[in-house]
Structure 1
């Protein structure tokens, strides 16, 4: 019998992307609520409890409500794409490449918290250096990032694309999270293995999908004789053999004149770069991904496959 998958919130941006990625698959059965019935609480609860895996593509409060609906049904496994459970100790964090044991944790978990798009890039750069002993846990990490506007969901998509929208945004690029209290900071700190809260400055560009995350570092404040080469080697060793995360060779990075945020749009991959000059005092670590791919829907499907197939 094919496992039953229910996408709670399938008509939102992340849910629609998950459905697109699963179109044509014959190894699973997709349960679905018609859009006209999406506010039918009883039908929703039935679908949740009838699924083998429920993928929650909902705001935080609605995700918590969905979890409560299946609290006594251990046959239902959950993937939550909201922020609600990303630092919860009882939920596996759904970044399979984060460390060597993470795939096994996800495969064996009942509850998996899908990472945020920005934290996927930031943690992907930071955690390997923490595990290698190069980045002190109290380093004053700064994370600067730009995302495609689909990361803001249907509301921001309408604001960016509909000139008649009452809150239309016509800027080519804008900065937000100005209070430095963005909801993704806790998971960056927790899963980045940092004791000090990172400073996170997010922004949005006028392109639908894509993302650049930057983490600049002062080499003199790192540990273990850190250099351009040792930092790159730590990342390359950490992700060796992975088919989703690619660490770009130093010689290839050195030939680049720019990084385009949309390069990996419509893919579920992530590229990591180490930029700098041999002997210089600084490096800039860069993650390139699709905010809806490895940063959201693609990761959710990857986690579902791990939960179903190990």
Structure 2
């Protein structure tokens, strides 16, 4: 019997990509509402109660309301919003870090943010292994394709006078910072410098490190080896030492991808390092992560239906 899936917010960018990835998969039966039903609370409640798994692609307040509407149903959730990433009773949906078994057993799974996906993939395993200090003041520099900014930003960048580069987050209060700190196990919040470039999709997240100023004997070579070991069994995340790479690009017409590449660049002595994650903000950073979590929750091979 097919698993019934309801995508609440299926008309948005993330929802549309999830629906596209599920198209033609016989393991799932999609519950689809028309335009009028999507605006009806009772229709949404009925769909949420009828679903085996609901995937929320909504603003934070609407995601919380969807969970309330489903009370008493036993429906399992994957929430792509920020609403439940640090909430009690929710499992953080990053299987390579949290553990596949925890997601397989969870009723409530919260998708990681796109920027935190890159940062945590790089830093969390190294802090856990004691190779990087938990009390270091980390900085994150990142650039994303404009599709991550929602309809208004998409329209702005596709307009005739779209900006070549947009930096933001100068209030130091970006909503992704709390999950970066929490799931990397850090003492201090990160300094996060996000930006957007005129490419539809794609993301580069960088963490510069002055290893020579840290206590201990961490080197770029050791960091690279540890990341290789941590992700050795992953079919989604790959690790490169950076020696054969001179530059990383965001292509305006890049194809969708659910993979993520990690790089460790260093100077000749190995005491300065740049940890870099390259991913698709709509793939492993959003829709691809939701499909990966859905597969795990339904007991299916996690790479099924992913663009790798």
- Does structure 1 retain, via aligned residues, the 8 Å contact 2:221–2:270? no
- For residue 113 of structure 2, the aligned residue among 116, 119, 128 is 116
Structure-2 residue corresponding to 1:241: 233
2:270 and 2:284 map into 1 onto residues whose CA distance is 32
2:3 and 2:103 map into 1 onto residues whose CA distance is 17
Structure-1 residue corresponding to 2:171: 179
Shift of 1:265: 4.4
Shift of 1:277: 2.3
Structure-2 residue corresponding to 1:38: 38
Structure-1 residue corresponding to 2:131: 134
- Does structure 2 retain, via aligned residues, the 8 Å contact 1:147–1:211? yes
**Structure 2: where are the runs of 5+ without partners?**
301-308
Worse overlay, 229-238 or 28-37: 28-37
Cα offsets for 1:134-166 (capped at 9, x unmatched): 111110000010000000112211121134xxx
Q: How many residues align?
A: 299
- 4+ residue segments displaced more than 2 Å: 220-224, 261-265
Structure-2 residue corresponding to 1:65: 65
Instruction: Answer yes or no: is 1:144 the counterpart of 2:138.
Output: no
Cα offsets for 1:226-250 (capped at 9, x unmatched): 01110101111111111000001x2
Structure 1 length normalisation: TM-score? 0.93
SS of match in other structure, 2:148: helix
Structure-1 residue corresponding to 2:86: 87
Shift of 1:278: 3.6
SS of match in other structure, 2:42: helix
Instruction: Answer yes or no: is 1:217 the counterpart of 2:209.
Output: yes
Shift of 1:223: 4.5
Shift of 1:224: 3.7
Structure-1 residue corresponding to 2:191: 199
- Does structure 2 retain, via aligned residues, the 8 Å contact 1:14–1:297? yes
Give me the CA root mean square deviation: 1.4
Shift of 1:27: 1.1
Q: 1:243 to 1:291 in 2, by over 3 A?
A: same
**Structure 1: where are the runs of 5+ without partners?**
164-168
Cα offsets for 1:201-230 (capped at 9, x unmatched): 100000100000000011124354101110
